[in-house]
Amino acid sequence: MVTMPGVVEGPAVRREVARNEYPVSPVSTRPSSPSLSLLREIVVEASRSASLDEQVDCVVRKVHEAMRAEVCSLYLSNGSAELLLLATVGLDRRVAGRLRLAVGEGLVGTIAAKQLALRLEKASGHPAYRYFPESGEEAFEAFLGVPVVHLGRTLGVLVLQDREPRSFDDEDEAFLYTVATQLASTLERWSKAPPAHRRSGLGRERRITGARGAPGIAIGRLHLVHNELALAAIDEEGVDAESELERLRGAVQRTLEGLDTTIEQLRSTVAADVLEVFEFYKLMLVDEKLVTVAEHRIVAGHSAAGALRAAVEECANAFQSLSDPYFRARAEDVHHLGDRLFKALSGDGPELADNGSDIVLVGKVVSVGDIAHYRPDRLAGIISMTGSPFSHTAVLANALGIPAVMDTGEIADLCEGEVVALDGYHGVVTLEPGLVRLAEYGKLIEQEKLLDAELLTLRDEPAVTTDGFRVTLLANTGLLADSTPGLERGAEGIGLYRSEIPFMIRADFPSEDEQAEIYGQILATYAPRPVTMRTLDVGGDKPLPYLEFEEENPSLGWRGIRFTLDNKAVFLTQLRAMLRADVGRGNLRILLPMVTRVDEVTGTLDLLDAAVEELRGSGHQVWRPPVGIMVEAPAAIALLDLIAPHVDFISIGSNDLSQYVLAVDRNNPRVAGRFDHLHPAVLRTIAGVVKEARRLRLPVSVCGEMASDPEAVVALLGMRINTLSMSSFNLPRIKNLIRHLSLSGARACLEELLRLDDEKAVRRRAAQEMEARGIGRVMAAG
């Protein structure tokens, strides 16, 4: 007999090999315990495989050999409620890639649903047993299966089977669990691999999952965007500095003219203020840093193209280094602008295309410039292989009502004109969809049209419950282009304006005049509706590019109000700019971020009073606006009674508050699955804040993702919170939800929610309350 290295022979595993049509390799033993050397051998051999397919097959084959089982199979979770037989040794290999079962169906489905191992001497006697004729597995009774789990998510199920009843023991299960743990990372990569790198037997449809960019359902034909200009590869040296400077300046001027042309071309088809996306590009283009960096490189001997590359990369990296996803997304804007500049440098000009009514744009990067290249009524959808839900591409897609999926990863083997179905609600793309899926999506598209038309009629209606409780719905924004769609969707003001953008795109602090002009545009757009402007929230996780410092734990570091009070001259300038912008309008409210101390509030109020006095002395008719704090840190909750005499309102920042209460960084993939603002601890904390604020007679609002989560809104309504601030798109649907709920029903539901010990249970109960009111279509048709 041949013994594998590292394999220990034991009486528990010696038995006669059954002579049948399922031959096994001439290995006579398996480990009596999880052998590190055997595991190492499996991992090393699998790592030498040329493809992920071969890695999966190698692991299944080696486990089959080592465990002396007649069958070893691996099932893959396809991201929905379904399992697919991915690889097998012992069953008919022709069923690999075709045999499917639902999670919870059969023994394998039960393991996937419960994430627990299952050991059976006689599988057919188990109540969950189900026979699949195509597999030929009726001959196998002994069964051992373990889930393959990665970061709390079931990726698949690894199974051993034998013909004769056999008692798999604890050692067998422990070894299989250990292999499954090693297999998890491979299976995770396999599930995300481009289809060209995966076996073709998975069916005609190709499903790719990305990030939700803009909601909606679309069916169309792919149009490939070829926008990879490889700026990073351009670094040749220039010959004549003066001529290269002229080339750069000419490109800048042509790009500015091109942006103006784009604005004019789109002016008749989109809301005027949506075009502020392109105005933002112009603002970045005339900023001194971008041009100055490029000019310095040219003087140092580089060509205009090489200098442009350096300037774009330096500015983009300044944004990319930030942890806040909203500001990281601005790096995409810098690259999009660099793309336009390089086209201008190369002599290419913009044209408005008209390629039919069912076009779905797809590319490694789909920029707002690419979108502007086509008439909005000719675009069905957008697929960007990179990019963020916070990017201007997603912002513009939302504003235009075009479904979009971002960050899909590389998609191989795309064909121009290929049919695609796109689900922007869940971030799913289906290439070559079958007739059943096409019919399903077509029905959803018709339902979407009816629902949107129905919700549009609610724009000027109040968000009031069936028993008369009134809720004010506000919009969150960071740019004018983000904010104006809110007016079209019924926003009653801005609940959170992020004031950091003018500070992030410059080489130094913006002047008071520049800030006053920007803030004035926002206030004028919404006047007389209230606009709540959060003061500069930088530092720590959002360092300014011209103030470099590093911290080991930026979330607990020099950020928010701590930063501004340590830079009083900067803070005073911003407060003066806000006060000046509000002259003649009177709709400004000031919000202080990351407050953890009483003296942070009083110190800010002293600065504000000084700014008011200075400006009045200069002849400006300013007034002191209402001032509130963000409740994000537990310290602010504990000190609320001491802070209350100094402020006019509070706003609960549900994103950061959830992070600090749960001690979970939602940007960390290892723990992001544990982040949920409906976790009982978060729910109880917010309920406590609301109760204390009511006692102190402080108005309360909630901003962040919680305000647009329908299940969370049920709970917030039960707390009698009467102001919510959210993204513009969700305004009509949350309004529709509130108009179908009753305050009394939400309060009764909240009492139950506060007694539950699990966020999943909280969501189920809140969803039941929605269904009881007949409002299952609130967030999406179908």
**CB distance 411 to 208 below 8 Å:** yes
Q: Which residues of the chain have pLDDT under 50?
A: 1-34, 194-203, 227-235, 271-273, 349-357
Pull the structure tokens for residue 676: 């949920």
Q: Which domains does the chain have, with CATH numbers?
A: 36-203 (3.30.450.40), 209-434 (1.10.274.10), 468-728 (3.20.20.60)
Q: What is the pLDDT of residues 347-386, one digit of tens each?
A: 654 444 444 447 899 988 787 667 766 666 678 899 988 8
- Residue 331's alpha-carbon distances to 200, 268, 328, 382, 390, in angstroms, are 37, 29, 6, 19, 11
Which is it for strands 404-406 and 359-363: parallel, antiparallel or unpaired?
unpaired
- Residue 462's alpha-carbon distances to 77, 455, 471, 487, 734, in angstroms, are 44, 12, 8, 14, 11
Interatomic CA distance for residues 31 and 782, integer angstroms:
52
**CB distance 338 to 308 below 8 Å:** yes
Model-level pTM?
A: 0.60
- pLDDT reported for residue 179: 86
User: Residue 740 catalytic?
Assistant: no
Half-sphere exposure of 340 (CA within 13 A, CB side): 29
- In the three-class reduction of DSSP (H, G, I as helix; E, B as strand; rest coil), residue 536 is classed as coil
**CB distance 201 to 84 below 8 Å:** no
CA 268, 271, 277, 278: dihedral to nearest 10 degrees? 20
Residues 6 or more apart whose Cβ sits within 8 Å of residue 213: 382, 384, 387, 389, 391, 393, 394, 397, 398, 403, 404, 405, 406, 424, 427
Angle between helices 392-400 and 480-488 (to 10 degrees): 20
What single letter denotes the amino acid at residue 699? P
Buried b (16+ CB within 10 A) or exposed e, 538-554: bbbbbbbbeeeeeeeeb
- pLDDT reported for residue 672: 64
User: Residue 296 catalytic?
Assistant: no
What single letter denotes the amino acid at residue 530? P
Q: Which of 58, 72, 703, 749 is catalytic?
A: 703
Q: Which of 392, 677, 679, 749 is catalytic?
A: 392
Angle between helices 36-47 and 52-67 (to 10 degrees): 150
